[in-house]
Structure formats: structure tokens, C-alpha cells
Amino acid sequence: MIAPLVVRPVNEHDSILLPEGIDNLTDFAECIGLDLTGAYFTLDSGFDSSYNKWLIHYHGMIPVIKPNRRGTKDEKKLKMMYEDFSEPIYKKRFIIERTFAWQDTYRKLTIRYEKLESTHNGFKYLAYSVMNLRVFFGGNSL
């Protein structure tokens, strides 16, 4: 679990943070020598837009974003929406959701009391370190 964090107030939607988050992720991956070219980038249907897909492609990754049906009932449109969607890859997203659930066990992260972003990020990195220790040395598996 490596997390270059983008933190904003709760009233900002995550899709606004995506460009900065992808930039941080690719910069961090480059620093540690990790090649993300061809890696899958999974997101839920709230991120379904042509701009987000373009942005992920631009950074050399493959977007796996669950299509937002938007009330569509036309079979041709639905087929086009699901054309590039990989259901088997998306089903592995539970790992990400479980990570969020583990993060929510830390009350200090669930309810943000800190005013400084650096303090909040410090607590997140501490929680992620504990989670990594639990996975790598405690017997829990992903």
C-alpha cells in the first residue's frame, strides 16, 4: 500500500482530485523505479467520463471505470459503454474497498480533527504503515 495522498475538505468530490492524484502517483512511481505503463487503474462509476479515461491513458495506464448507465436503456449505447470495460479486473477492486474499510478503523482518519494537511497526512501514513505491517508480518493476506 503506497499512497501519495491528495487531501481536501469533505465537500470536494474525489473526481476533482483525480488529476493531481494521478500526477502524484506517477511522480512517486518514477522516484521508486516502478513502471506503471500498462497497469490497470480502477475507479467506480462516479469517475466515468471521457476526460478521466483520457487522463489515465495519457499517463500510460489502462482505465477500468465501471460505466455510469445514466438511465440509458438503448442496447446499442449500453454495448458501447461496456465495450472497453473489463469485469474480471474490476472485480478485484474489493482490495481497494477493503483498504478503505481498514483505514476507517482509525477514528482519527475517519473524522478529521486536524486543521493542517501535513498532520492529517502524517496520521494517514502511520495508519498505512500499520496496515502494511499487519499484511506482511501478521499473516493477513490481500
Q: Over the stretch 63-90, which tens digit does the pLDDT of each residue have?
A: 888 888 777 788 888 888 788 788 888 8
DSSP state letters, 11-51: TS-HHHHHHHHHHHHHHHHHHTT---TT-EEEE-GGG--HH
Q: What pLDDT sits at residue 11?
A: 66
Tell me phi and psi for residue 28, to 5 degrees.
Answer: -65, -45
- Torsion over CA: 36, 43, 70, 84 (sign): positive
70 secondary structure, DSSP code: T
What pLDDT, on a 0 to 100 scale, did the predictor assign at position 60? Answer: 93
Report the SS3 class of residue 57.
Answer: helix
What single-letter DSSP state applies at residue 80? H
Per-residue pLDDT of the chain (142 residues; tens, 9 = 90+): 555 667 666 666 777 888 888 988 888 888 888 899 999 888 888 888 889 999 999 999 998 888 887 777 888 888 887 887 888 888 888 877 777 777 778 777 777 777 787 888 888 888 888 888 887 787 655 5
CA distances from 67 to 45, 49, 129 (A): 5, 9, 33
In the three-class reduction of DSSP (H, G, I as helix; E, B as strand; rest coil), residue 65 is classed as strand
pTM of the predicted structure, to 2 decimals: 0.65
Largest Cα–Cα separation, the chain:
50
